[in-house]
Amino acid sequence: MDLVVLHSISLPPGEYGTGCVQQLFTNTLDWSAHPYFESIRGAEVSAHFFITRTGELWQFVSVQDRAWHAGVSNYRGRDNCNDDSVGIELEGLEGLAFEDVQYEVLADLLAAVSQAWPIAHIAGHEHVATGRKQDPGAGFDWARLQRSLGFAPRCFPEGVGVTD
């Protein structure tokens, strides 16, 4: 495990605090509860962690186990990013801003994960599934995350605004 993939998710899209993301990742989502859910019925997805808009941290999969968050993917010359990455979902909508508390919890989580695993890369879903996914999107502040972690710019995707 040397890659962290960041995602954004809200269920239904644009609605926060519904508990539906947690239901999706625990296979308890009521598919009939919202018309959008029919479009994702049968999706077999999971993530290691989920950070709500209020900073609540949920863990669904052990970092020692594979989660199904990246899909068809390629990063740093390797396919199948699910094989060696930790997937972290941030409650939000791709392209929109995230909450201060989410960055704080994310930084603490990444610091803890990096104590156990040699994190060499942190990328967005948009970077590992180019052209297929756009999250977390332009609203995610990569430079802020880099400053809070103190990780070298080489740990982040090119062109996201991190500096020495």
Active-site residues, by number, are 89
Name the DSSP letter for residue 130: T
Could you tell me whether strands 57-59 and 49-51 are parallel, antiparallel, or unpaired per DSSP bridges?
antiparallel
First to last CA, the chain: 25
From the CB of residue 161, how many other CB atoms can be counted at a distance below 10 Å? 12
Q: Which residues, 6+ apart, have CB-to-CB distance to 52 below 8 Å? A: 16, 17, 58, 91, 102
Backbone angles phi, psi at 22, to 5 degrees: -60, -40
Beta-strand pair 121-124/74-75:
unpaired
